[in-house]
Amino acid sequence: MKPSVFYRIAAVLLLLWTIGHTLGFRQSDPKWGVDALIASMQSIRFDTQGFSRSYWDFFVGFGLFVSVFLFFTAVLTWQLGGLNRDTLRLMPVLTWTLATCFIGLTVLSWMYFFTLAVVFSAVISLCLITAAWLAGKHDRGQA
């Protein structure tokens, strides 16, 4: 099996996660009982380093940061899927660091988020680990 298959699967999952995260992270269910908290986060403003901000501004800003990095990772992973094994073999720091980062995201998702985030990060991690392993693997016919 080729590493490119696993990189491309991971890229599609990352794009789906990017879309879902971007559309969903500002949503809340009235059953959670957090409407007053959100209203407070949106209405209380303070000055910081010459800007008037609220905690809601920080929440939205950091959420969009995550979306931008998820999108970048989707593009990077898609590009890795277009490289041949010999090229990927020259980039073990990149391929294994990417896999390791997603292992970390899986742990953080398990600790702080919910099932869908855990599943997405775990499947992406498995794809990236498999792709990195396959990329570094020598075929029997090679020296």
pLDDT digits (tens, 9 = 90+) for 84-93: 999 999 999 9
pLDDT of residue 143: 42
Domain for residue 49, yes or no? no
Q: What is the mean pLDDT of residues 8-23?
A: 98
Q: Which domain holds residue 129?
A: 3-27+62-136
pTM exceeds 0.75 for this model: yes
What is the pLDDT of the chain when averaged over all its residues?
Answer: 95
Report if residue 50 sits inside a domain.
no
Overall domain count for the chain: 1
> Is the pLDDT at 138 greater than 90, yes or no?
no
Q: Assess if residue 53 is contained within a domain.
A: no
pLDDT at position 52 over 80: yes
Whether 40 maps to a domain, the answer reads no
Residue 141 pLDDT greater than 70, yes or no: no
Q: What is the pLDDT of residue 139?
A: 61
Residue 38 lies in a domain: no
Q: List beta partners, residue 52.
A: 47
Residue 83 lies inside a defined structural domain of this protein: yes
* pLDDT surpassing 60 at residue 140: no
Residue 142 predicted with pLDDT over 80: no
Please check whether residue 100 lies inside any domain of the structure. yes
Specify if 76 maps to a domain.
Answer: yes
